[in-house]
Structure 1
Amino acid sequence: MELIRAHPSITAYTAQSEAIDHGHPLVRSTAADLGAETSDAYTYAQAAYHHIRDRIAHSADIGAEEVTWCASDVLARGHGICHAKSHALTALLRAAGIPTALCYQRLTEDDGTAPVLHGLVAVRLPGRERWDRQDPRGNVRGIDARFSLDTERLAWTVREELGEADCPVLFDAPHPAVLAALRAAPDRRTLWPMLPAEF
């Protein structure tokens, strides 16, 4: 899909915020460890992606009820839902100076009911004229998301016939309704119906 920049300045996609807290010591130390094992922005981005996809669990996959939302907390606790994992990956990439945006898909159940926003990221690597979406949700049976710059390998491909859709906007900060739900929910079961269904 073609992504549309939502902010006039590329520096907006390297900024720090409460949720994308890439100045936090844990985020900085994790980024430093990944940087020590990589040689350039491309290998660093791939290593950061695999770290979040594979070493940080999706909360639902492990039955964790605690809700994490800021990058440092996700890294400290080792889990988060798709939105929280996207915040963590964004923070690690921005810590290395790589412009990273937050992106969303509107997904539904197989019968088209229960729409909800799914979170992922888009990265702008040096020398590339485009943003490349990456999905750090974490792979389980039926999901095979991968870091890819040629063909998108996301957790899900939208089914337009069910009302699913890719949001073309590049967000420089978390969607306000998503962030509000993450911060307000006392546990994951309460969180699900609080998450927005529209962009």
Structure 2
Amino acid sequence: MVMQFKELWNDLHKENAPGKPVYDEWLDKYQDILEGCSTAVLDLGCGNGNNTLYLREKGLPVIACDHSEVALQQVQQEIPDVETMLVDISERLPFDNDSFDVVVADLCLHYFDECTTVQIMHEIKRVLRSKGHLFARVNSIQDSNYGAGRGEKIEENYYFVEGYNKRFFSVEDAKRFFSIVGKVDVREADMLRYRKPKRVIKVKVEKG
């Protein structure tokens, strides 16, 4: 099952080989925190490197992680000065406790069942330093363009849709899961994803 999911993402990145990553500026709001970062930023589920490029252009060292070899090859080609690692975020993260001031997890935390999602939150908490921050975006239950409320229901707000298992978060869901990491600020927001409007939950967490 894990291999099938990985192959789906390898195929997707091959089909959408984008050239130089193009980022939106959702992390601008956290510029003060990023400027105070004394470690590399951990970019989980980096994809083709949109946020990695943003962070590098701000002068920050980044460890870009993904479970797709194809995605990491694209990152290495377009951002050759960044460290990349092949990482499955559903397993124990290959980092020591208290390793990072900032973790970014953009659109990569909404593919898992409840048990695995909880496990991932505990792992992010483990690798964050005290007072460190997690910045994340996840599918909203209002994300109708990307399958919200459609497909085969697996768990509450978790469906098999469009070839993937996808979780769609309410604000309350996001608070419940992300509060495992620390103090949560949650809000809904809109973005463009593959040139279509997408509704997301935007999350900032400070580890206690």
TM superposition score category, shorter chain reference: under 0.3
> Which is richer in strand?
2
Q: TM-score, normalised by structure 1?
A: 0.28
Q: TM-score, normalised by structure 2?
A: 0.27
